[in-house]
Amino acid sequence: MHARRDLRATLLTENIGEEIFALAAKIFPICRSITGNGVRQTLREIAAHIALEMHEVPTGTPVFDWTVPHEWNIRDAYIKDMRDEKIVDFGRSNLHVVSYSVPVRKHVSLAELRQHIHTLPEQPDLIPYRTSYYAEGWGFCMPHRQFEQLPDEIYEVVIDSSLEDGYLSYGEYLHRGETEDEFLLSAHVCHPSLANDNCSGVALLAHLAKRMAGLRTRHSYRFLFAPGTIGAITWLARNEHHSQRIKHGLVISMVGDNGGPTYKKSRRGDAKIDRAMAHVLRHSGMIPVIIDFFPYGYDERQYCSPGFNLPVGLFQRSRFGEIPQYHTSGDNLDFIRPKYLAQSYRVIVDTLDLIENDGVYSNTMPKCEPQLGKRGLYGPVGGNKGTAAAAMAMLWILNLSDGRHSLLDIAERAELPFTVVRDTAQQLQQHGLLTKCLRPDDLADCAAQ
Amino acid sequence: MHARRDLRATLLTENIGEEIFALAAKIFPICRSITGNGVRQTLREIAAHIALEMHEVPTGTPVFDWTVPHEWNIRDAYIKDMRDEKIVDFGRSNLHVVSYSVPVRKHVSLAELRQHIHTLPEQPDLIPYRTSYYAEGWGFCMPHRQFEQLPDEIYEVVIDSSLEDGYLSYGEYLHRGETEDEFLLSAHVCHPSLANDNCSGVALLAHLAKRMAGLRTRHSYRFLFAPGTIGAITWLARNEHHSQRIKHGLVISMVGDNGGPTYKKSRRGDAKIDRAMAHVLRHSGMIPVIIDFFPYGYDERQYCSPGFNLPVGLFQRSRFGEIPQYHTSGDNLDFIRPKYLAQSYRVIVDTLDLIENDGVYSNTMPKCEPQLGKRGLYGPVGGNKGTAAAAMAMLWILNLSDGRHSLLDIAERAELPFTVVRDTAQQLQQHGLLTKCLRPDDLADCAAQ
Amino acid sequence: MHARRDLRATLLTENIGEEIFALAAKIFPICRSITGNGVRQTLREIAAHIALEMHEVPTGTPVFDWTVPHEWNIRDAYIKDMRDEKIVDFGRSNLHVVSYSVPVRKHVSLAELRQHIHTLPEQPDLIPYRTSYYAEGWGFCMPHRQFEQLPDEIYEVVIDSSLEDGYLSYGEYLHRGETEDEFLLSAHVCHPSLANDNCSGVALLAHLAKRMAGLRTRHSYRFLFAPGTIGAITWLARNEHHSQRIKHGLVISMVGDNGGPTYKKSRRGDAKIDRAMAHVLRHSGMIPVIIDFFPYGYDERQYCSPGFNLPVGLFQRSRFGEIPQYHTSGDNLDFIRPKYLAQSYRVIVDTLDLIENDGVYSNTMPKCEPQLGKRGLYGPVGGNKGTAAAAMAMLWILNLSDGRHSLLDIAERAELPFTVVRDTAQQLQQHGLLTKCLRPDDLADCAAQ
């Protein structure tokens, strides 16, 4: 039990928030899309921290109902007015170009240009983030205030991009544990300069994987860095045969802001990851929002499709789409903070700790209470109001450890943090009052002992 | 699926509220009771709209624990004072006479008369509605204000009624569908001039039956117009052998006022009709009151007796007994409105539509999401906040159509109107993304496919 | 059914509150602990009312994980100041001495004395109640106000106690019913002069047992008067072989104050005693607090340990620990009142009545409603708003008596007091409309009839 109990001690390091922030800041400027060099460059930054395994899947590869698309790359893009001034410049923000825009180089009237411009009239100073993956076209995004002031003249539009046969890139990293039961941790790497969505999630997982090196765990931990939707679909198509090894999973995105925390349950709704996240968040000191599964959002859509139905939930701070910065240039490095990244990291570590250490125990003296006092486990003077509170965790564990309740069951019922229940269980085990069931995940089996 | 989908289009006709009102107004003046010519005259008015099958059951026929009673008919009744003035006149309101009063013709003192008068002291201007079916007697009903001012003199009381061997009359109409599974729609025809209770329900069902003619349906629809309690008991006694064909049912009464809407669940509590009515009412734009079954009320008492336990609920606007007009002369034609009758009618039609069109489907591409975009089912530019909402119904249906969830299950879970889910499912079916399970009511079977 | 129905009539006697109070007052001054003459004297007072069976278990007897401790007796104790004045005197209150204090007779400085004094700084005028059963030591308890004013001088401390091999004493009384199924009623007899905790519970059970003499009951009733924790453990250890005869049980303590009432459910949470107590309390006219089991409190801790898991709950007025008088000299005879003792007694009698009289019945005319009117069970004039209410209990029983619902099930569903349902069921039985299922506790069996 020791190595596992060290999990929090090993993973909860000083300055973790700053380190995650630094990596998020490093990958922020890269122009990512669902394919292309931006993804590769991002994976290389992750690979500077962990031994990331890179995968390249050719354009045209069928993946379930989908096909790996052309690879998109972009070198430059701008709109010039008649004074030869770049009024929109990809070099200043990669959000200015609609992702997957085909190459274009021509002069257009304002009327024609307007057909290709996206703005946010209600947020007139922000650049929106737009994509056009599966319908060929081109477009620019700009602040609405600027858009409204464009004079009626001729503009030069240039998008120096390529959309050709190539590859879809993703990276994965496996931390091997004692068993082949896997815990999937997945972040999307397809969004360009959006700090919270999802430089924050990518950087958090990279640092978590880095710190797990050398740690002995019961589960294996699979870290997946892939473009949203098509990346997850591609991974599932190529790993269908062992997808059922995934016993728990989390999609991680938008973990650097001060909102939430939010947990969206897996499609199953009562998977262990659902209970574990709910428990950890309720005892996090923050006020969590726990929501039922719905079939929109991030890659939990694919993991929880009915043909897989994997126990994978989504962890976020603010809910996607519910903050004004969502999918705009407002989601920049000012929007995320080391402090919040560290909070999010701790929630995930506490969840891993719970999943690793949960188990079913049996009270070795189930008839009446064992005498805690003679073992020094109980205050000596009865009637003291304080004594009772201190002993409650012991009493709960002894009362419910009948081979039918796991430590998480007990923590939920007793409304105690899992860490307290886990540590107290260890203390009782050391005094011979508790034995671990042989197969801790098989409750029925334990009860039958 | 087409004929069934036309159900709402066929049934939701213009001016339906006015037409129901007109029939209710036509039958309002008739003096109905649990037997007699008033019931026959009412059934003839219904028969002017549909091919109603009339039944006459002789007095003395045993029906379970009951016996068909004597037939009651009344020609005239009044109370005359010493000035030979009719102070109470059956000709002005048939509520003035206690239903099932035996004939009487005599002079009585005020003291004796008072023993036979029913009033409402708290509603002094209204005439109450009273019956004395199973205990022979006679009585009059009048406004309390008038009652208090009766001078102490001799009165002539005349009730020109007969209570003799005869028949109990009821009518039924069967709309035959593709299967013998029946949907029972039942209204009581035993109340005299009470507009809401139940001229409204009788007229609504007559017009619903009329409009169903020629419509192809999956279920057969049985419309029953019978006197309350004894009529339903008689029908059940004569149709006991095939009562289990009734898969869904509604008792309809008091559907013309502006209250509620109210749905009282069947004894089962989780029958499909219970879920369907709750769903339709929640999406009706009104604020419904959904109440659990209790063994008092209308003929659901008989349908839901433990020996039958049929899935029959009660639909009303205001709850019976909870409005001051209930069982008084205040329940007149001013109390019901075409507008509210049309609302009630629509609720029932939407419920029929749901029951007809519910079914279990299977996603043909259950592994990851199918690519909606290439089928033109998804907005082309990603990141647009509006696009998501439009696709939600599709995503819900695809995610939950695993052979274990019916369209109603999905509508409930997604909090979408059934009609949206039904239409979207058809769209997905047309694109080959959904197939109907062979036996839609057998969920377990479908899941095993 | 008669003898059982007489249970309330027999047990609910006049002046019961005063009689319970008188016994509580009689045993209040006795210095009880978990062993010793105080317990014996208390048991003798109980034995003046019922044929109590006394048990003496020798020191050193192993009882599960525990050992019967030394017997403690005390004759006198005091603290004298330098003016030879007894500033603390056991003769004035037996709370002044920490229970199980070893003998001591010496002169001590104030500094040393303070190590052995317990006070309540937040309740400076009250003496706390303290024990030191399993760690040898000695101590005094006193009001904090007095403690603060002790001058810095030399004190004489005397505790004339003995802590030696002896016996643990407890008493039990069995009221034999028709079956060996037992209802356990348990009160602790180890607290010294604390009126509510638990002179009240001891006196209530003694009077309940006394009144049951000669009463014919279905269950056997076992009354246990034993020291807390070690007494219950000892009893369970000596009666392990037939503990499973206990089908229902209550621990009774603190039943004389004006708080609550409180019911803490058994570990099972849905035992019949849990449902019965909840039902009786909801219809008691008081506002009950019903709480889930937790593994702290009174002897339900032992009865509900996982190796026994008996259906035993705890009945109290105020919750232990939640009132300022708890375990202080404030819990004196002024704190309990005959009126509240009588209320508590009635709750327990009503619960016994429910457990005795609950059963499953079958409606003999399950198809449609039987005609209540012809049996004189229904008001003759229909439409009268008052008639309905009176008939509701009958209608509920007839509707739900399908061999699957017990009278308690019906009372809960109908929100009617059990006594009304029980009496109405008897009325229906007399009219041949209801028959009792042969094995009333076996619901599945009855439904299959």
What pLDDT band is residue C391 in, cutting at 50, 70 and 90? confident
Average model confidence (pLDDT) across chain C: 93
What is chain B's pLDDT, residue by residue, as a tens digit (449 residues)?
Answer: 444 557 898 999 999 999 999 999 999 999 999 999 999 999 999 999 999 999 999 999 999 999 999 999 999 999 999 999 999 999 999 999 999 999 999 999 999 999 999 999 999 999 999 999 988 899 999 999 999 999 999 999 999 999 999 999 999 999 999 999 999 999 999 999 999 999 999 999 999 999 999 899 999 999 999 999 999 999 999 999 989 999 999 999 999 999 999 999 999 999 999 999 999 999 999 999 999 999 999 999 999 999 999 999 999 999 877 899 999 999 999 999 999 999 999 999 999 999 999 999 999 999 999 999 889 887 644 555 445 555 899 999 999 999 999 999 999 999 999 999 999 999 999 999 999 986 545 444 454 43
pTM (two decimals)? 0.90
Locate A397 and state its tokens.
């564990």
Span A316-332, average pLDDT: 92
Secondary structure E strands in C298-393? 312-316, 360-363
Q: Is A386 exposed, middle or buried (0-12, 13-18, 19+ CB in 10 A)?
A: exposed
- Of chain C, the percentage scoring pLDDT greater than 70 comes to 94
pLDDT of residue A1: 42
Distance (Å) from the alpha carbon of C132 to chain A's nearest alpha carbon: 5
Neighbours of C319 (CB within 10 A): 17
Are C403 and B152 within 8 A, CB to CB? no
Kindly report the backbone phi and psi dihedral angles of residue C173, in degrees, each rounded to the nearest multiple of 5, phi listed first.
Answer: -145, 130
CA dist C141 and C96 (Å) reads 5
Q: Does B405 touch chain A (CB under 8 A)?
A: no
Residue with tokens 């050193």: C60
C-alpha distances out from residue A289 to A297, A325, C338, C386, Å? 16, 19, 50, 49
AA identity, residue C176? R
pLDDT of residue A322: 84
Looking at the DSSP bridge assignments, the partners of residue A78 are: A89, A158
Q: Which residues contact A114 (CB under 8 A, 6 or more apart)?
A: none
Span C204-233, average pLDDT: 97
Looking at the DSSP bridge assignments, the partners of residue A163 are: A72
Locate B185 and state its tokens.
């729609």
CA dist A237 and A226 (Å) reads 13
CA dist C376 and C374 (Å) reads 5
CA dist C82 and C79 (Å) reads 10
Are B394 and B414 within 8 A, CB to CB? no
Instruction: Write out the H or E segment, with its range, that includes residue B118.
Output: strand B117-118
Mutate to test the interface with B, among A126, A129, A296, A310 (most CBs of B within 10 A): A296
pLDDT of residue C57: 98
pLDDT of residue B389: 53
Contact C396 B132 (CB under 8 A): no
pLDDT of residue C216: 94
CA dist C435 and C428 (Å) reads 9
pLDDT of residue C4: 55
- Which residues on chain A are in Cβ contact (under 8 Å) with C307? 363, 365-368
CA dist B397 and B391 (Å) reads 10
CA dist B153 and B110 (Å) reads 6
- Which residues on chain C are in Cβ contact (under 8 Å) with A366? 305-307
Mutate to test the interface with A, among B363, B367, B449 (most CBs of A within 10 A): B367
Locate A320 and state its tokens.
């996607």
Contact C396 B229 (CB under 8 A): no
Locate A175 and state its tokens.
């931390």
Residue A386 in this model has a pLDDT that exceeds 50: no
Return the SS3 of C152: coil
Contact A374 C134 (CB under 8 A): yes
pLDDT of residue A388: 56
Give one DSSP letter per residue of B53-86, joined into a string: EEEEEETT-EETTEE---EEEEEEEEEE-TTS-E
CA dist C156 and C105 (Å) reads 7
- Which residues on chain A are in Cβ contact (under 8 Å) with C129? 383
Distance (Å) from the alpha carbon of C340 to chain B's nearest alpha carbon: 36
What pLDDT band is residue A448 in, cutting at 50, 70 and 90? very low
Residue A65 in this model has a pLDDT that exceeds 80: yes
Residue A383 in this model has a pLDDT that exceeds 70: no
Distance (Å) from the alpha carbon of C169 to chain A's nearest alpha carbon: 19
CA dist A140 and B382 (Å) reads 14
Distance (Å) from the alpha carbon of C367 to chain B's nearest alpha carbon: 4
Return the SS3 of B92: coil
What pLDDT band is residue A444 in, cutting at 50, 70 and 90? very low
CA dist A25 and A319 (Å) reads 22
Complex confidence, ipTM:
0.91
Contact B134 C374 (CB under 8 A): yes
Q: Does C133 touch chain A (CB under 8 A)?
A: yes
Could you say which of C385, C396, C399 has the minimum Cβ distance to residue B305?
Answer: C399
Omega within 30 of 0 (cis) for the link into A151: no
Return the SS3 of B143: coil
- Of chain A, the percentage scoring pLDDT greater than 90 comes to 87
pLDDT of residue C321: 76
- Which residues on chain A are in Cβ contact (under 8 Å) with C130? 381-384
Contact A395 C295 (CB under 8 A): yes
pLDDT of residue B135: 82
- Which residues on chain A are in Cβ contact (under 8 Å) with B367? 64, 236-237, 240, 305, 307-308
CA dist A245 and A235 (Å) reads 14
What pLDDT band is residue A4 in, cutting at 50, 70 and 90? low
Contact B383 A135 (CB under 8 A): no
Kindly report the backbone phi and psi dihedral angles of residue B122, in degrees, each rounded to the nearest multiple of 5, phi listed first.
Answer: -85, -10
Beta carbon pairs, B and C, within 8 Å: 89
pLDDT of residue C177: 96
- Cα nearest neighbour of A62 on chain B: B371
Contact A131 B383 (CB under 8 A): yes
Neighbours of C441 (CB within 10 A): 15
- Which residues on chain C are in Cβ contact (under 8 Å) with A414? 294
- Which residues on chain C are in Cβ contact (under 8 Å) with A412? none
- Give the torsion through C-alpha atoms of A323, A326, A328, A332, to 10 deg: 90
Are C399 and B305 within 8 A, CB to CB? yes
Are C273 and C249 within 8 A, CB to CB? yes
Kindly report the backbone phi and psi dihedral angles of residue B174, in degrees, each rounded to the nearest multiple of 5, phi listed first.
Answer: -115, 120
pLDDT of residue B48: 98
pLDDT of residue B386: 44
pLDDT of residue A377: 86
Q: Does B243 touch chain C (CB under 8 A)?
A: no
Distance (Å) from the alpha carbon of B129 to chain C's nearest alpha carbon: 7
Contact A129 B383 (CB under 8 A): yes
3-state secondary structure chain A: CHHHHHHHHHHCCCCHHHHHHHHHHHHCCCCCCCCCHHHHHHHHHHHCCCCCEEEEEECCCEECCEECCCEEEEEEEEEECCCCCEEEECCCCHHHECECCCCEEEEEEHHHHHCCEECCCCCCCCCECCECCCCCCCCEECCHHHHHCCCCCEEEEEEEEEEECCEEEEEEEEECCCCCCEEEEEEECCCCCCHHHHHHHHHHHHHHHHHHCCCCCCCEEEEEEECCCHHHHHHHHHCHHHHHHEEEEEEECCCCCCCCCEEECCCCCCCHHHHHHHHHHHCCCCCCEEECCCCCCCCHHHHCCCCCCCCEEEEECCCCCCCCCCCECCCCCCCCCHHHHHHHHHHHHHHHHHHHHCCEEEECCCCCCCCCHHHCCCCCCECCHHHHHHHHHHHHHHHHCEEEEEHHHHHHHHCCCHHHHHHHHHHHHHCCCEEECCCCCCHHHHHHC
User: How far, in whole angstroms, is CA A240 from its chain's centroid?
Assistant: 21
pLDDT of residue A3: 46
Locate C113 and state its tokens.
């004395």
CA dist C343 and A431 (Å) reads 46
Q: Does B369 touch chain A (CB under 8 A)?
A: yes
AA identity, residue A11? L
CA dist C132 and A383 (Å) reads 9
- Of A9, A345, A315, A347, the residue nearest A207 (C-alpha): A345
Q: Does B132 touch chain C (CB under 8 A)?
A: yes
A144-179 tens-digit pLDDT: 999 999 999 999 999 999 999 999 999 999 999 999
What pLDDT band is residue C407 in, cutting at 50, 70 and 90? very high
- Which residues on chain B are in Cβ contact (under 8 Å) with C385? 321, 327
Show the DSSP H helices in B244-403 as ranges.
272-282, 300-303, 338-357, 385-400
Contact C307 A380 (CB under 8 A): no
pLDDT of residue A439: 56
Q: Does A190 touch chain B (CB under 8 A)?
A: no
A181-240 tens-digit pLDDT: 999 999 999 999 999 999 999 999 999 999 999 899 999 999 999 999 999 999 999 999
Interface of A with B in 53-112 (CB under 8 A): 63-66, 98
Q: Does B390 touch chain A (CB under 8 A)?
A: no
Are B150 and B175 within 8 A, CB to CB? no
